[in-house]
Structure 1
C-alpha cells in the first residue's frame, strides 16, 4: 500500500464522501415520487424497498470480505459501475418488475461500497499518522457525509421543477437521475486518479470461503466487536421508529394545534437534522481533545442523552417543542459518530477492516428491518408515542455495552 500524506487522505476522504452522499441526497426528496411516476402503486412501494434491502443484507458481509481480498479501490469502482447501471436503468424502467430490478442493482452497489473505500483510507491514515488522531479523520468523513446529504437533498427538491421547465414532455424526475449520473462520473474520476492502492496478492492466503469463515471466527472471538455489533443492531431498531414515523407525527401535531404548515416544518426539520448531526460530529473531537473523558463514558452519556430526548419527543404535543427536541436528539447522535467510529477502527486488523465494517453496517440494516416490522405492530395497536418509548429503551440498554466495546478484545 502506497503511503500518502495524512492531509491528502483527509482531502480525498472529504471529497469522495461529499460526492457519494450528495448523489444519494439528490434522490432522497423524490425517490418514492419517482417510483410512483414509473407506475408503482402505494402498496408496491414497500415491496420494491424490501427487495432492495434484501439484496443489501444478503451481500453486505460477502462483499466486505471480497473488498479485503481483491482490493478496496477495485471493489468501490465496481460499486460505482452498478450504481450507474441502476440509475441508467431507472431512466427507461416502467412498472414494478423493471423498477425493482433497477433498484436491486442499486442494492448491489450499496453492498459493494459499504466500508471499501473508507477502510482503505483509514488504513492509509493509520500507517502514516497512527490511530491517536484517527478521530479527526472520522470527523472529516462524518462532516462530508452530512454536508453532502444536506446540499444534495436541497438540490434534489429543486431539480424536478427546473427539469420540467426545460423538458416539459419528459418524466419530471429524470433530471435528478441525470444529475446523479453526472456526479457519479466525477466521483469515479476522482477515485481512479487520486486513490492509490497496491493490488493484494491473489496467489497467497485462504480462499474466499475460508476467509469468510475466518472473519466470522474473528467476530465470535472478540467481545468488543460483538458489543459494537449489538450496539449497531440496537441503533438500527430504535432509529427505524424515528425515521418511519416522524413525518406523520409532525402532520398530526401541526394539524392538532393549527400551527404552521406541516410541509414547511418537515422541510425545515429535514435540512436541520443534517446540520445538527454535522455540528455534533464537529464538536465531538474538540471535546475529546480538550477533556480527559474516555470514549466509552462519553458514548454512554451521549447514547443515554439521545434516548432521553426520544422519550421527550414521544411526550411532546407542540410543534415548536417537537422541532427543538428532534434537532437536539440528532445533535447528540451526531456527537457519538466520531468516537464510535474511532473505537471500532482501532480494534480492527487491516486485513479484516472492510469485512468488519460491512458486518457493522449489516447489523444496522438488520436492526432496521426488525424495527420496521415490530414498530409497525406497536403503532397499529398503541400509537407512535409508545413505539418511540420502546425505541428509547432499546437504545438506552445498548449504551451499557460501550465499556465492553472499549476493551478492544
Structure 2
C-alpha cells in the first residue's frame, strides 16, 4: 500500500492544477494586453506544432527516467506560464507562454495516467483504474466549474489581473504537491530502461498497436469522440448565440455541460462490469452521431437537450478507452503508449477541424456540427463491423 498515497496526491494536484480562474476571462485578458484575434490564431498554431513535436518524446522520457519528473515539469511549466502572463504585453511573451503550455501538456499527458495505474498495480488495485480515473476526471470538472464561477465574479469586481495572480498561486500549490509523489516500481522488462534508445520505444509502440487490433479500435473510438466533444466545448457559445440565448445564461450552460459528464466518469467502472466495452462504446457513438445530426438540423432550443445527451455519454469515454489501453500495456512503456494516444487524438482533432471550419463557413455553426455528425456516423459503422471479434 506504500504507493496508494500517490492516488490521493494526484487528486489534489489535479484539483489545484484546474482551479484556474484566469481561464474564464482568458481571451478578454489577452485582448486587453494587445493580442488581436490574428495573433491568438498564430499562438494556437505555435501550441499545436509544439505539441506534435513533443508528445511522444515526453512519453518516452517519462518511461525512461520517471513519470514523477514529467509531472513535476508540467506543474513547473504552469507556474512559469502565469508568472509571465501577469507581466505580458508583447506577442513574443504570449508565444513563449503557449510553448511552455505545450511542454507542460505533453509532459503530463502520458505520465500522469501511467503513474496512477502503476501506483494501483503496486497496491493490487489495478482493476479499479477506471474508477479512480473517472473520479479524477470528475474532480477536474468540479474544479473547473468552481474556478469559472468564482473567476467571473472576481473579474467583474476587481479586474482581470487578480484572476491571474490567484491562478499562479494555485499552480504553485500544485507544483509543491507533485514534489511529494513517489515514483512507483515499474513491472515488465528488467533491463535498465535508461539504456534503451528512444527509437526502440517508438518501434515497440507501433508494434503494440499493430499486434493488438482490439486496443487499436477502442483507442481510435476514444480519439474520434474526444475530438467531437471538443467542438462542443469550443463552440457552444456560438451555438447559443445563433439561437438568440442571452449571454446572461452562458455561465449556467457551461456549468451544465460539465456537470453532465460527472455520472459517466463516476459510473464507467461499474457499467463495464454490466456491459461489454463494445456495447458501451457502440452506444456512445450512436448517441454522438444522432445528437450531432439533431443539433445541425433542428435549429431551436431542443438542440440544447441533444448537446446535454452527448455530454452525458462523453463522460464514459476517457475512463473506458484509457482503462482498456492501460490494462493491456506493459508498465515499462505505459507513458509512451499514453502519449501516442494523446498524439492521435490531436491528429484527429486537427483533421476534423479542417472540415468543421469549411462547413461552418459555408453553413454557419450548424454546418460544422453536421460535418462532425457525418464523421461520428461513419466511424460508428466502421466500429460496429471492425470490433465484432476483437473487442
Alignment TM-score > 0.5, same fold: yes
Q: 1:70 to 1:295 in 2, by over 3 A?
A: same
The CA deviation at 1:240 is: 4.5
Question: Is 2:359 the counterpart of 1:383?
Answer: no
What SS does the aligned partner of 2:260 have?
helix
Superposition pairs for residues 341-360 of structure 1, below 5 Å? Answer: 341-360=322-341
For the pair 1:316 / 2:298, whether they are aligned, the reply is yes
Q: Distance in 1 between matches of 2:120 and 2:48?
A: 32
What does 1:4-19 correspond to in 2, within 5 Å?
4=2, 6=4, 8-19=5-16
| Distance in 2 of aligned mates of 1:403 and 1:278 | 30
Residue 96 of structure 2 corresponds to 101
**Counterpart secondary structure, 1:129:** coil
- Partner of 1:94, secondary structure, is coil
Comparing 230-239 and 85-94, the one that deviates more: 230-239
Q: Which residue of 2 aligns with 1:34?
A: 29
2:379 is aligned to: 398
Partner of 1:304: 286
Residue of structure 1 equivalent to 2:44: 49
Bigger mean CA deviation after superposition, 153-162 or 96-105: 153-162
How far has the Cα of 1:364 moved from its partner?
A: 1.5
Indicate the residue corresponding to 1:257 in structure 2. none
Alpha carbons 2:75, 2:178 under 8 Å: kept? no
Q: Which stretch shows the higher mean deviation, 342-351 or 390-399? A: 390-399
* Residues 195/174 of structure 1: CA separation in 2 closer, same or farther (3 Å cut): farther
Q: CA-atom RMSD, angstroms?
A: 2.6
Preserved contact between residue 281 and residue 334 of structure 1 (Cα < 8 Å): yes
2:19 corresponds to which of 6, 12, 22:
22
Query: Displacement of 1:62 after TM fit?
Result: 0.8
* Contact kept in structure 1, 2:193 and 2:332, CA below 8 Å: no
TM-superposed deviation, 1:235: 2.8
Equivalent residue, structure 2, for 1:167 = none
Question: Aligned partners of 1:336 and 1:203: how far apart in 2?
Answer: 31
Deviation at 1:130, TM superposition (A): 4.3
Q: 1:250 aligns with which of 223, 226, 240?
A: 240
Matched-pair contact (CA < 8 Å) for 1:13–1:140: no
Give, in angstroms, the shift of residue 67 of structure 1.
0.6
CA contact (8 A) 1:309 1:329 kept: yes
Matched, 1:191 2:178: yes
TM, length-normalised to structure 1: 0.86
Q: 1:74 to 1:241 in 2, by over 3 A?
A: closer
Task: Report the CA distance between 1:182 and its aligned residue.
Answer: 1.0
Q: Report how far residue 5 of structure 1 moved.
A: 6.0
Residue 194 of structure 1 and its aligned partner are, at CA, apart by 4.3
Task: Tell whether the 8 Å contact from 1:227 to 1:402 is kept in structure 2 after alignment.
Answer: no
Change (3 A) 1:408 1:62: farther
- 1:285 and 2:269 correspond: yes
**Per-residue deviation, residues 313-362 of structure 1 (Å, max 9, x unmatched):** 2223323x233222221001113332222112112111111111111111
Partner residue, 1:169: none
The whole-number CA distance in structure 2 between the counterparts of 1:66 and 1:112 is: 9
Cα–Cα, structure 1 residues 12 and 348, in superposed 2: closer, same or farther, change >3 Å?
A: same
* Residue among 187, 202, 206 paired with 1:216: 206
Q: What number of residue pairs does the alignment pair up?
A: 387
Range with greater deviation from structure 2 (150-159 or 43-52): 150-159
User: Can you give the 5+ residue segments of structure 1 that lack an aligned partner in the other structure?
Assistant: 165-171, 255-260
- The aligned residue for residue 61 of structure 1 is 56
Q: Which residue does the alignment assign to 1:294?
A: 276
Q: Aligned equivalents of 2:265 and 2:230: distance in 1?
A: 21
Local SS of the residue matching 1:367? helix
